[in-house]
């Protein structure tokens, strides 16, 4: 993909596809800085395709919202016609040439990992957090070169990125977003591009994924995690090799997966060649991000209602369940069907030491319930709900004192909600209503 900087748009004809936060911020910057640039059209998903095609035939650059797939036929045709296709993030990274940027991607954990990296860096240097979890990065065009930027990068942004971050972090890779990318193989390939991009000098990644390890061979510097010889977790806490860096009781986030996110963040600081801040002081005040194992209500009898709406894959729901190893859990799960494989999650539900009750939601709930039954899970610990209101009412009746009601859907939200945030907000509101009605 040709590399074009924001400043390189001056005087060109461009089309913008999408009206979300990132493209809105881009339009403001464009109008303020490059008024001679012609915006030929602003396109959305309701724009007639014949019109889209005719517009794209007459522009130099298409700036797309990350949610607009480059694999749409009309965009692939534009690329064939030598239209440069990019995102506001791509324009900013090219302008910055990736310098002092730590880019964080992965199927799960990227928002938390990016947040922890920024928290660690602010103890020793100037830093900005940008991307989905922070500011729109296009708003940082005037940022001093000495300031580090921690940038969360989705697969949607990586698919046509032309300039990489100086330090690239991959948290993990699972099956996800196959509808946007067309296949799991293409999704993984688009994620792995981050290690091969111009500007990327160092990489951070988990040991044990052969595809990631192969992609990392292109890099000059690598730091691994989930690796006994490097950054890893033990019963004692987070260790670097044989040295204990952070005790378990000093990790401010709940769950094994979040402890690993903190280890990943420390690996990223090392890969950037920066000094490790004083620990645990540098993590003071760190809180769970919204909808990520976020406690939204605790009843008088100690039942904890936890919003983990961000969990859109079976793997992330497994991690959520493992955060409560000794407590009885009422799990609310189910959402948009993207062909998820529920086998491993079903086994975890059925074999947990503490009692687990499953309440399923459309559309994937039926498949999950069937997979759980295959492991001889008691029918008395399974029920079906038509919607979130129904699910929380059932959960209030089924929850045990001192237990957990956990929304961790193992599926996206788009069959019933605008996004996972809206789903999590609905859970929190219905939870409070359900508890008030019962007690």
Over the stretch 155-178, which tens digit does the pLDDT of each residue have?
A: 999 999 999 999 999 999 998 888
The CA distances from residue 247 to 179, 234, 236, 252, 383, in Å, are: 41, 9, 6, 10, 40
- 64 bridge partner residues: 17
User: Rg of the Cα trace of the chain?
Assistant: 23
Domain 294-438 in the same topology as domain 7-86: no
Q: What is the mean pLDDT of residues 283-302?
A: 93
- 404 bridge partner residues: 304, 329
- 63 bridge partner residues: 16, 86
Over the stretch 218-277, which tens digit does the pLDDT of each residue have?
A: 999 999 999 999 999 999 999 999 999 999 999 999 999 999 999 999 999 999 999 999
- Return the domain boundaries, the chain: 7-86, 90-283, 294-438
Query: Which CATH class, in words, describes the domain spanning 90-283?
Result: alpha beta
> Residue 281 carries which DSSP code?
G
- 103 bridge partner residues: 151, 168
Q: Which CATH superfamily is domain 7-86 in?
A: NAD(P)-binding Rossmann-like Domain (3.40.50.720)
What pTM was estimated for this model as a whole?
Answer: 0.92
- Over pLDDT 90: what percentage of the chain? 93
**CB atoms near residue 298 (< 10 Å):** 12
Phi-psi group of 241: left, alpha or beta (phi > 0 → left; psi -120 to 50 → alpha; rest → beta):
left
Is the CB of residue 263 less than 8 Å from the CB of residue 223? no
pLDDT at 15: 97
Tell me how long the chain is: 439
Architecture in CATH of 294-438: Alpha-Beta Complex (3.90)
The CA distances from residue 179 to 63, 67, 183, 240, 412, in Å, are: 21, 11, 7, 38, 12
The CA distances from residue 301 to 25, 232, 297, 435, 439, in Å, are: 47, 37, 12, 11, 10
**CB atoms near residue 266 (< 10 Å):** 25
Question: If we measure between CA atoms, which residue out of 290, 288, 233 comes closest to residue 259?
Answer: 233
Q: What is the mean pLDDT of residues 332-356?
A: 95
Question: If we measure between CA atoms, which residue out of 273, 66, 265, 260 comes closest to residue 166?
Answer: 273
State how far the Cα of 233 lies from the Cα of 251, in Å rounded to an integer: 11
Q: What is the mean pLDDT of residues 376-395?
A: 96
């Amino acid at each position: 993909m040709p590399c074009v900087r924001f400043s390189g748009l001056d005087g060109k004809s461009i089309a913008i596809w999408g009206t979300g936060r990132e493209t809105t911020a881009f339009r403001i910057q464009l109008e303020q800085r490059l008024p001679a640039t012609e915006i030929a059209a602003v396109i959305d998903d309701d724009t007639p395709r014949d019109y889209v095609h005719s517009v794209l035939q007459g522009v130099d650059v298409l700036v797309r919202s990350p949610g607009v797939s480059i694999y749409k036929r009309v965009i692939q045709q534009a690329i064939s016609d030598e239209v440069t296709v990019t995102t506001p993030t791509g324009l900013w990274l090219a302008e910055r040439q990736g310098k002092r940027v730590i880019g964080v991607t992965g199927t799960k954990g990227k928002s938390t990992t990016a947040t922890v990296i920024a928290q660690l860096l602010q103890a020793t240097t100037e830093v900005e957090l940008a991307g989905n979890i922070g500011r729109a990065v296009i708003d940082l065009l005037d940022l001093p070169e000495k300031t580090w930027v921690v940038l969360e990068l989705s697969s949607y942004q990586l698919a046509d990125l032309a300039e990489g971050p100086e330090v690239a972090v991959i948290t993990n890779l699972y099956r996800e977003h196959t509808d946007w990318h067309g296949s799991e193989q293409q999704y993984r390939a688009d994620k792995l591009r981050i290690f091969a991009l111009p500007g990327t000098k160092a990489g951070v990644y988990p040991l044990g994924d052969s595809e990631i390890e192969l992609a990392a061979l292109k890099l000059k510097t690598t730091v691994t995690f989930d690796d006994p010889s490097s950054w890893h977790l033990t019963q004692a806490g987070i260790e670097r090799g044989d040295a204990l860096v952070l005790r378990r009781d000093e990790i401010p986030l709940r769950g094994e997966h979040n402890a690993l996110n903190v280890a990943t963040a420390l690996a990223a600081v090392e890969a950037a060649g920066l000094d490790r801040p004083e620990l645990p002081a540098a993590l003071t005040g760190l809180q769970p991000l919204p909808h990520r194992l976020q406690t939204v209500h605790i009843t008088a009898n100690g039942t904890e209602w936890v919003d983990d709406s961000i969990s859109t894959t079976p793997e992330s729901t497994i991690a959520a369940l493992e955060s409560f190893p000794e407590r009885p859990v009422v799990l609310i799960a189910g959402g948009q069907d993207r062909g998820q494989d529920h086998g491993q999650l079903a086994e975890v539900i059925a074999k947990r030491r503490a009692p687990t009750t499953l309440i399923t939601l459309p559309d994937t709930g039926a498949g999950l319930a069937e997979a759980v039954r295959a492991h001889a899970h008691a029918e008395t610990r399974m029920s079906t709900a038509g919607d979130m209101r129904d699910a929380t009412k059932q959960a209030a009746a089924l929850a045990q004192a001192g237990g957990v009601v956990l929304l961790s859907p193992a599926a996206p939200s788009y069959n019933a909600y605008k996004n996972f945030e809206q789903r999590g907000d609905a859970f929190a509101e219905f939870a409070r209503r359900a508890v008030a009605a019962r007690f």
